[in-house]
Chain A
C-alpha cells in the first residue's frame, strides 16, 4: 500500500504521519495519534461529535481525509485547557451541568468555539440554529445553550 506523508500540527504538537490516503482525519486523530477526544458517532456527518477545528474553522473530522490537511493546524478537546486551567467553555459546561453521558461534549465544545469565532452567538435562537450540527442524545440542550450564552456574554 502506498502511504502519503503529511505534517499536522495538533494542539500545538507537530506530527509527521505516513498515512493510507483513505484514512479520515477522525481516524488519524483517534487511531494514529491516539487522541480519542473527538468521537465517532455516525461517521456520516449527522451527529457532530467528531467536530474539530481545522485552521480555526469547525469541521466534521469524519467527512474529510487526513491527507487533505497537510500542514494544517488542528484543535481537539485535548488541546483546550492551559495546564489545569480549563477553557472558558469547558468550565461553563461544568458550571451549567451541560452534559449527561458526555459523548457529545467534545464536539459541542469545539463547535461552540467555532460559533463564537463566527460571531453567531448573539441570542438563544441564533445559538440553537448555529449549533444544529451537534446532536445530544441525552437532551442537555437547554444547559448547553446556557453555557454558550455565559461565555458569549462574558466576551
Chain B
C-alpha cells in the first residue's frame, strides 16, 4: 500500500492520475473503520489532510464556501453565526475526538442517509465543487448524492469545496437518537425560514435513501406563514408536520422501524417550526 500526502490540489490530482484506483482519505473517521475491520483493503491512498486548497472557509458573494477538509470542530467554532443549524448538527456528530478529525468533505463523500450535515446543506441548496482530470465542475448537492452511500463522483475527482448560500432567518437542526452523544441519527431534520424569499426550507436525514427535501410540505407552509411575524396558525403547523411525514421513505433497521421514523420526522418538523417562530 502507498499513501500519497500531497500539499496542493494539483499534486493530489496528479497522485490520483498516477494511481487511479487510489482511495481518498480525509479525517478517516468513516474510512479507517472499514480498513481496521478488513471491509476495505486499499492498495493506494491519497491523503487530503495537507492540501491547502481544501482548508478553511471563505465568505463570497451571497454564500460561504466550505473547504472539504473543514472539520466539525472548526464548523462549531467558526460558522455558528453564518449557519447556526450547521454548527448545531456538527455538535451532534460522534464525540469531540471524532469532530477534531471528521470533515464536511467526508460527510458528503460518504453520502450516508444519516450524514448529519446533509439535511441543512440540501435545504439551503448547497452545491459541491469538484476538481478532476477534465477540469472543475459544480453540482447541486441534491443531485450529487444519488443513493445510500452513492454519489455522482467521477473517477479521479476530488470534492474541493461545498458552496452554501447565506440565508437570513431562523434555522433549526434536530436529531433523534438513543442518547445525546455518539449516536447515528434515527431521524434528523433541518429547517430554515428564509425571510427574504419568504420560503420554508427543510431537509430530512435517515428517513430515506438519501437526504430529502419535502417540497410539498415546504410549499404548503410557505403559503400559510404570516411572514411579517413570522407567525403561523397551529393547524398549519400540524398539517406541515403531516406532509413532512408523508414525504419520508424510511426503512426498518436495527436503529428504528420505518413507522417510528416517519412519526419522528413529523414530530421534529412541528417542533422545529414552533421553535423558529418563537425565536
Contact = CB atoms under 8 A, between A and B. Distances in A.
Q: What 9 A-B pairs have minimum CB-CB distances, sorted nearest first? A: A133-B95, A132-B181, A21-B3, A63-B32, A133-B97, A44-B33, A43-B36, A60-B97, A57-B100
A36 to B, nearest CB: 18
B97 A51 contact: yes
A87 to B, nearest CB: 19
Contacts of B5: 67-68, 70
Interface of A: 2, 4, 20-22, 24, 43-46, 48, 51, 57-60, 62-65, 67-68, 70, 111, 114-115, 118, 120, 129-130, 132-134
12 contacts: A22-B1, A44-B36, A48-B95, A58-B96, A60-B97, A60-B98, A62-B32, A63-B29, A63-B32, A65-B3, A68-B49, A130-B96
B31 to A, nearest CB: 9
Interface residues of B, number: 26
B251 interface: no
Interface in B1-46: 1-3, 5, 25, 28-29, 32-33, 35-37, 45
Contact of A45 (B1, B3, B33, B181): B33
B182 interface: yes
B279 interface: no
B180 interface: yes
B34 to A, nearest CB: 9
Contacts of A70: 5
Given A63-B32, A64-B28, A132 B2 contact: no
Nearest to B99: A133
A118 B37 contact: no
Contact of B182 (A58, A68, A132): A132
Nearest to A40: B36
Interface in B38-94: 45, 47, 49, 73, 94
Dominant SS among interface residues on chain A: mixed
Contacts of B36: 24, 43-44, 62-63
A24 B45 CA distance: 14
B101 interface: yes
Contacts of A63: 28-29, 32-33, 36, 101
Contacts of A132: 95-96, 180-182
Contacts of A44: 33, 36-37
A67 B50 CA distance: 12
B49 A133 contact: no
Interface string B181-194: 11000000000000
Nearest to B31: A63
Nearest to A50: B97
Nearest to B47: A68
B110 to A, nearest CB: 14
